[in-house]
Amino acid sequence: MFHQENGSLVREFAGETLVIQPWGKDSLRVRSTMRSKFENEDWALLPRPRIESAGIVIANDGSASITNGRITARIDPRGQIAFFNQKGEVLLQEFIRARFGNLQTGDGQIDQEAIKYFNSALKIYPRECKAILGGDYRLTVRFESRPEERIFGMGQYQHGFLNHKNCVLELAQRNSQASVPFAVSSSGYGFLWNNPAIGKVTFGKNTTEWVANSAKQIDYWITAGDEPGDILHNYAEVTGKVPIMPEYGLGLWQSKLRYQTQEELLAVAREYKQRQLPLDVIVVDFFHWPMQGEYRFDPDYWPDPAAMVKELEAIGVKLMVSVWPTIDRDSSHFAEMRDKGLLVRTERGVAITLDFLGDTVFFDPTNPKTREYIWNLIKQSYYDKGIKIFWLDEAEPEYGVYDFDNYRYYLGPNLQVGNIYPLTYAQGFYEGMAAERQENIVNLVRCAWAGSQRYGALVWSGDIDSSFESLRVQLAAGLNMGLAGIPWWTTDIGGFHGGVNDDPAFRECLVRWFQFSAFSPVLRMHGDREPHSKPLSTTGGGKCASGAPNELWSYGEEVLAILEKYLRIRERLRPYVRSLMAAAHEKGDPIIRPLFYDFPSDQGAWTVEDQYMFGPDVLVAPVLYESQRSREVYLPVGTRWISHGTGQLLNGGQVVAESAPLDHLPVFFRENGSARL
């Protein structure tokens, strides 16, 4: 039943092959298949590190165990897997409700070996492979639940909860939802569902259940850590780390729904310079092209991109351009890409994946030939003109209808591989830029999957609502994204949809959002502001309308003064932010994280969901409600804190009341910490 193979523990029973192997520090990879052999895909994982010295024990009672550092997996005679830390404490164990053999021996006595195991008539097994007629399997893996356990990470969901316990999460990509299936548990483990299939996870009170709607094999990775930082560091070692954030990533990025002409964009950059407001990046948004899929500037509105880049560089501003994966049927590349199999296919019906200002089909970045084809177009039209930052929009991709079963990629059906789309989208640009010997690569991406971080993905939270409610949701989303191993995260300041420039309520929301973003990984102005301006024409890049102005001075002098104040604070924090970016690159630390990340022994820190740490030395208590002018702040134990508002030195382990007028965000600095203003 059990044997060892290349440092792995293998169990073969009733058609199932189960393999547990060491994969990184204090970590194990678990795979199971009912097929004749395993698929040769590592998915989110980097190639296996050198084979660690694993301790494998095969017992005479039909059980076995494998140990790698601080984690041990034990398989009992029923096939149930349980994971233990170095203290022998259970981290996680599979859920099984079934009978184990006959409780009587041949002479009619009770079999004491059999009675050790819980017996049930429910016939529920921990690993389930239900065959899909004519296809592969619907996979389910069940684990015992601890009602008091807290679950974090998992990417970006718009439900507003930091703790996912008792939540059901769809494992699928949507606009503003990024499924990154890595969970960090308060019980001392991290768990990666290493499967890009569409599915769901239920972190229930009675059971934890992972489901892939269509897949070939079970595949997950688990690590043990005494502290959350240990878990994230182990995860980063096996899935990759972000590059070094370049200097322009530390300052302000200026964007709006959309600058319509080259001269309009340059005028904005010049005004920033004239007002002596620091600006690092400015953005050319969508429909600067004559048609989707052309991947070039429309010369009627952007006559000299190279000269534009040169002028911006002269004043210290980088240019980023938007790229969409949509190929219009009337574009010059559509027929060739279709014929070469570079587009997403539909299983039934007409191949239309998004209908927005044209009849378009998404390109398929899971195909290496597609990635090469698209990069060659990008290089010719943008990169060779000096543009070195790209905005990879529509990265889920955003289907007109999310019928996941109706789309097929090069790597397989969407149901089996769909969640990997944004990773391969970022991969194509990263590899193309790296081939040009560019270092410190960063691209803004509207979605991610496990491992996207290694391709320089700066993820933002999508087309979200402009409201305080949405701001509260983004706080939880950003913290969980960091705990899912994606340290580069940003959000549209003020939200994307619905902000009216001269509305006092929206201006208040924008101010509070900007203050929060000043203490976030990337400070980025963007949004679809009202009222809209009209399209410039009915053809090419002129047929797309634009939003109202969205520069710092667009909201009146009072708002400008506050935004400038926090922009200056961000600038003074550059050395500190630079050190946070280095820690993300070197170890995988999130830039923003819940209080418990830095204070894991403080039980009070585990329950706080409306504050966060900006690195190890800055505690931020964002203002998340309209008209709120004060708030309570919990200061973790183990250090003393300096109030940015009052200058008071305060002991940790207490709740303090902090004033929060509109021009002030409650922020506290760790005594003797490295952050300085």
Residue ranges and CATH numbers for the domains of the chain are: 2-239 (2.60.40.1760), 247-587 (3.20.20.80), 594-670 (2.60.40.1180)
Weakest-pLDDT range from 98-112, 267-281, 316-330, 456-470: 98-112
**Would you say residue 353 has pLDDT above 80?**
yes
Residue 110 binned pLDDT confidence (cut-offs 50, 70, 90): very low
Q: Which of 128, 463, 508, 609 is catalytic?
A: 463
Q: Which of 230, 328, 393, 617 is catalytic?
A: 393
**Would you say residue 320 has pLDDT above 70?**
yes
Among residues 635, 643, 638, the alpha carbon closest in space to that of 608 is found at 635
- Bridge partner residues of 210 (DSSP): 141, 201
Weakest-pLDDT range from 24-38, 48-62, 196-210: 48-62
Distance CA(188)–CA(267), nearest Å, equals 53
Among residues 114, 92, 94, 93, the alpha carbon closest in space to that of 103 is found at 114
Cβ neighbours of residue 274 under 8 Å, at least 6 residues apart? none
Q: What is the mean pLDDT of residues 452-458?
A: 98
pLDDT one-digit tens code per residue, 173-191:
999 999 999 999 999 999 9
Write down the pLDDT at residue 103.
Answer: 45
Residue 118 binned pLDDT confidence (cut-offs 50, 70, 90): low
Whether the CB-CB separation of 20 and 29 falls below 8 Å is answered with: yes
Whether the CB-CB separation of 223 and 29 falls below 8 Å is answered with: no
Residue 131 binned pLDDT confidence (cut-offs 50, 70, 90): confident
By percentage, how much of the chain surpasses pLDDT 90? Answer: 90
Write down the pLDDT at residue 243.
Answer: 98
By percentage, how much of the chain surpasses pLDDT 70? Answer: 97
Task: Please state the pTM of the whole predicted model.
Answer: 0.96
pLDDT one-digit tens code per residue, 243-298:
999 999 999 999 999 999 999 999 999 999 999 999 999 999 999 999 999 999 99
The end-to-end CA distance of the chain, in Å, is 63
Q: Is residue 396 annotated as a catalytic residue, yes or no?
A: yes
pLDDT one-digit tens code per residue, 554-613:
999 999 999 999 999 999 999 999 999 999 999 999 999 999 999 999 999 999 999 999
Bond before 531 cis per omega within 30 degrees: yes
- Bridge partner residues of 346 (DSSP): 407
Distance CA(260)–CA(499), nearest Å, equals 19
Q: What is the mean pLDDT of residues 358-366?
A: 96
Q: What is the mean pLDDT of residues 226-255?
A: 98
Q: Is residue 111 annotated as a catalytic residue, yes or no?
A: no
Distance CA(502)–CA(494), nearest Å, equals 13
**Would you say residue 101 has pLDDT above 90?**
no
Q: State the DSSP H helix or E strand holding residue 368, giving kind and residue range, or none if neither.
A: helix 368-381
Distance CA(613)–CA(306), nearest Å, equals 41
Q: What is the mean pLDDT of residues 89-108?
A: 73
A 10 A CB-CB count for 597 gives 24
Whether the CB-CB separation of 93 and 81 falls below 8 Å is answered with: yes
Q: Which of 26, 52, 394, 396 is catalytic?
A: 396
pLDDT one-digit tens code per residue, 642-674:
999 999 999 999 999 999 999 999 999 999 999
Distance CA(264)–CA(467), nearest Å, equals 28
Q: Is residue 328 annotated as a catalytic residue, yes or no?
A: no
Higher pLDDT, 121 or 253: 253
Among residues 477, 462, 484, the alpha carbon closest in space to that of 520 is found at 477
DSSP conformation letters of 433-497 = HHHTT--S--EEES---TTGGGGTEEEE--S-BSSHHHHHHHHHHHHHHHHTT---EE--TT-SE
